[in-house]
C-alpha cells in the first residue's frame, strides 16, 4: 500500500503535503515525493528513503511558494525502491501519484513504446502518466479531464489517483477505483488523501478507542480484550490507543476489585479533554444490535466537539464479513458430532444475522454446524430440532461471543449443556471466545482500518441530495 495526499488552497502546499505525508508514512517507507504547481510548470522533488530525506531535499532547493500540489509515500510493488521509481511520476504536462495496481500495465507499456514513448522507471504508474500525456497530445484541444477519462478507460486494476496538469495549476483531479481516497472541502481550500490522518493539521491528535462489552474473568480478558488491544496498538502506531467497557455490571464488579474501566462516553470526554481531535471508535461487538446502537448514540452526542470521529462496524456487518467468519470457524470443525455456536442474541431485527450464519455454514457444506442464541433467534428449540433431524449423538458447544465470560460459563456450560444431556446427547464445551482466534481479531482490525480510509455516508443527506437532483 502507498499513501497519497493533495492540496489546493491558500496555504503553502509544500508544508501541507509534508504534514500529510508524515501522517501517512506508515503506509510506505520506501520513498516519498511531491509535485508542486509553480510559475512555469510542475516541479517534482522525490527521493528514495524516509520522509526526512525528502524534507532535506526541499529545504536545499528553497522553492518559491506553491498553493497546489500532490504528494506520495511509497511501498514498492512494481519496481525496486529508488529515486527514479519514486512517485510522483511526471511528464512536462502531467504529474500523478498513485496507490494501487495497474494490472494491464505490460500491454499498455508495449503499445506506447511502439508509438515512440520512452520510459525511465520500472513502475506501472509511469505507464499511466505516459498514457494520460499521450491522450493530452493526441488531440491538442482536448481538455485534461477528457484525456484522463480516455486513459482510464483503457486501464484494468485498482487505483486512487491525484493528478496535476500544467494547464490547470490550481486544480487536482482525484480518481478512485477500489483503492481508498478521501476528499475534503474547506473554506478556500480542498484536500485529497488516502485516509483521515493525512488531513490533520499541526496540533491535531488522533486516537483509536477500542470498545468492549468487558469481562470479569482475568484469563479470558488476557486472551481476548488485552490481545486485540495489543494488536490494535501495533496496527495503528500513529494513533493513541485507549479502551472502554460497556457492561455496567462488569465495570461495577471490576471496580470493587480496584480495576477502573471507563464507559464509551467517559472515554470520549477524556480524549476530548486530552486534546484529541480525530478519533476512530472500534467495538468488538458481534452484530449490529443494541450495544452498537448505544455506542453510536454516545458518539453522536459528542461528535460536534471533535474535528472527525468515526465508528467502525461490528464483526458481522456485511455478507463478506459473514463469509469470512464462516471460513474461519469451518476450518476448526471437530472430528466427531456437531458443533453448536451459541450467540447472545438480541430482540432487534439484527438477530437475523445469526440465522444467516447458520444458513451460510450449511451452504458451504458444514452441515454439522448449527447456531443458537440465548436471547434471540435461532432459539434453543430451533437448534435442538436441527440436531434431532440430523440424528446427532455428540455435540460440542462453542461460544459465539467475543469473550467466554459469564454467559459462556453459566448459560452455555451449565444450562445448555444440561438441557442437551437430558435429550440424551453427549456434550462437550469448548470454552473459547471468538476473540481468542487471531484471524477473528484481524477482522476487527480490518474494520478499524477501513473506517480510517472511508467515511460512512449519512443516508438522510444522501436521500435529500437525490431528491434535490431529481427536482432539477
Q: Which of 63-72, 81-90, 196-205 has the highest mean pLDDT?
A: 63-72
The pLDDT confidence band at residue 188, using thresholds 50, 70 and 90, is confident
- Euclidean distance between CA atoms 33 and 158, whole angstroms: 21
Residue with more model confidence, 37 or 82: 37
Q: Which three cell numbers stand for residue 310?
A: 468515526
What whole-number percentage of the chain has pLDDT above 70? 92
pLDDT surpasses 60 at 282 = yes
Provide the pLDDT for residue 169.
92
Residue with more model confidence, 188 or 472: 188
Neighbours of 419 (CB within 10 A): 14
410-414 average pLDDT score: 91
3-state helix/strand/coil string of 242-260: EEEECCHHHHHHHHHCCCC
14-26 average pLDDT score: 82
Length of the chain: 472
What does CATH list as the number for 3-199? 3.60.20.10
- Euclidean distance between CA atoms 357 and 213, whole angstroms: 22
pLDDT surpasses 90 at 23 = no
What does CATH list as the number for 206-316? 3.40.50.1400
Provide the pLDDT for residue 181.
83
408-414 average pLDDT score: 89
pTM: 0.72
Provide the pLDDT for residue 470.
61
Provide the pLDDT for residue 312.
95
- First and final C-alpha spacing in the chain: 41
DSSP state of 198: G
The predicted-structure confidence for 42-53, as pLDDT tens digits, reads as follows: 999 998 878 888
Q: For strand 68-74 and strand 31-38, is the pairing parallel, antiparallel, or unpaired? A: antiparallel
Provide the pLDDT for residue 47.
87
335-346 average pLDDT score: 89
Provide the pLDDT for residue 118.
93
CA 252 to chain centre: 33
Least confident of 65-69, 76-80, 160-164, 384-388: 76-80
Q: Which three cell numbers stand for residue 302?
A: 459528542
319-436: which CATH topology? Rossmann fold (3.40.50)
pLDDT surpasses 70 at 459 = no
Q: Coil, strand or helix: which one is 47? A: strand
What whole-number percentage of the chain has pLDDT above 90? 67
pLDDT surpasses 90 at 252 = yes
pLDDT surpasses 60 at 76 = no
3-199 and 206-316: identical CATH topology:
no
Provide the pLDDT for residue 471.
62
Provide the pLDDT for residue 148.
94
pLDDT surpasses 80 at 198 = no
pLDDT surpasses 80 at 25 = no
Give domain limits for the chain. Answer: 3-199, 206-316, 319-436
Q: Which three cell numbers stand for residue 452?
A: 480510517
- Euclidean distance between CA atoms 318 and 56, whole angstroms: 46
Provide the pLDDT for residue 332.
67
Provide the pLDDT for residue 409.
86
C-alpha triplet 94, 96, 98: angle, nearest 5°: 160
50-60 average pLDDT score: 89
Q: Is 102 exposed, middle or buried (CB count within 10 Å of its CB: 0-12, 13-18, 19+)?
A: buried
Residue-averaged pLDDT of the chain: 89
Amino acid at each position: 500500500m502507498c499513501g497519497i495526499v493533495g492540496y489546493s488552497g491558500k496555504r503553502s502546499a509544500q508544508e501541507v503535503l509534508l504534514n500529510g505525508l508524515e501522517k501517512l508514512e506508515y503506509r510506505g517507507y520506501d520513498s516519498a515525493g511531491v509535485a508542486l504547481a509553480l510559475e512555469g510548470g510542475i516541479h517534482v522533488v522525490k527521493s528514495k528513503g524516509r520522509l526526512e530525506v525528502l524534507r532535506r531535499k526541499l529545504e536545499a532547493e528553497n522553492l518559491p511558494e506553491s498553493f497546489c500540489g500532490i504528494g506520495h509515500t511509497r511501498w514498492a510493488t512494481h519496481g525496486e525502491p529508488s529515486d527514479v521509481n519514486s512517485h510522483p511520476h511526471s511528464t512536462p504536462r502531467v504529474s500523478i501519484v498513485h496507490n494501487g495496481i495497474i494490472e494491464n500495465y505490460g500491454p499498455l507499456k508495449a503499445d506506447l513504446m511502439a508509438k515512440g514513448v520512452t520510459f525511465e522507471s520500472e513502475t506501472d504508474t509511469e505507464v499511466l502518466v505516459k498514457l494520460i500525456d499521450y491522450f493530452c497530445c493526441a488531440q491538442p484541444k482536448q481538455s485534461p479531464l477528457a484525456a484522463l477519462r480516455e486513459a482510464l478507460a483503457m486501464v484494468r486494476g485498482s487505483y486512487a489517483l491525484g493528478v496535476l496538469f500544467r494547464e490547470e495549476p490550481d486544480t487536482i483531479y482525484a480518481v478512485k477505483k477500489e483503492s481508498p481516497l478521501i476528499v475534503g472541502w474547506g473554506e478556500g481550500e480542498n484536500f485529497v488523501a488516502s485516509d483521515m490522518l493525512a488531513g490533520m493539521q499541526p496540533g491535531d491528535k488522533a486516537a483509536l478507542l477500542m470498545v468492549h462489552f468487558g469481562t470479569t474473568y482475568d484469563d479470558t480478558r488476557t486472551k481476548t480484550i488485552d490481545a486485540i488491544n495489543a494488536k490494535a496498538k501495533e496496527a495503528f502506531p500513529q494513533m493513541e490507543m485507549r479502551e472502554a467497557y460497556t457492561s455496567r455490571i462488569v465495570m461495577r464488579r471490576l471496580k470493587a476489585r480496584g480495576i477502573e474501566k471507563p464507559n464509551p462516553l467517559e472515554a470520549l470526554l477524556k480524549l476530548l479533554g486530552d486534546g484529541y481531535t480525530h478519533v476512530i471508535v472500534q467495538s468488538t461487538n458481534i452484530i449490529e444490535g443494541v450495544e452498537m446502537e448505544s455506542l453510536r448514540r454516545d458518539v453522536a452526542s459528542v461528535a460536534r466537539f471533535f474535528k472527525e470521529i468515526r465508528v467502525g462496524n461490528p464483526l458481522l456487518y456485511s455478507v463478506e464479513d459473514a463469509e469470512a467468519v464462516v471460513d474461519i470457524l469451518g476450518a476448526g470443525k471437530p472430528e466427531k458430532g456437531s458443533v453448536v455456536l451459541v450467540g447472545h442474541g438480541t430482540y432487534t431485527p439484527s438477530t437475523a444475522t445469526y440465522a444467516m450464519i447458520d444458513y451460510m455454514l450449511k451452504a458451504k457444506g458444514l452441515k454439522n454446524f448449527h447456531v443458537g442464541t440465548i436471547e434471540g433467534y435461532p432459539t434453543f428449540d430451533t437448534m435442538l430440532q436441527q440436531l434431532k433431524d440430523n440424528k446427532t449423538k455428540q455435540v460440542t458447544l462453542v461460544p459465539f461471543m467475543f469473550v467466554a465470560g459469564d454467559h459462556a460459563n453459566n448459560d452455555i456450560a451449565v444450562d445448555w449443556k444440561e438441557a442437551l444431556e437430558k435429550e440424551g446427547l453427549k456434550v462437550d464445551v469448548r470454552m473459547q471466545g471468538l476473540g481468542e482466534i487471531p484471524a477473528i481479531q484481524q477482522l476487527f482490525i480490518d474494520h478499524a482500518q477501513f473506517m480510517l480510509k472511508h467515511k460512512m455516508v449519512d443516508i438522510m443527506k444522501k436521500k435529500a441530495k437525490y431528491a434535490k437532483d431529481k427536482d432539477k
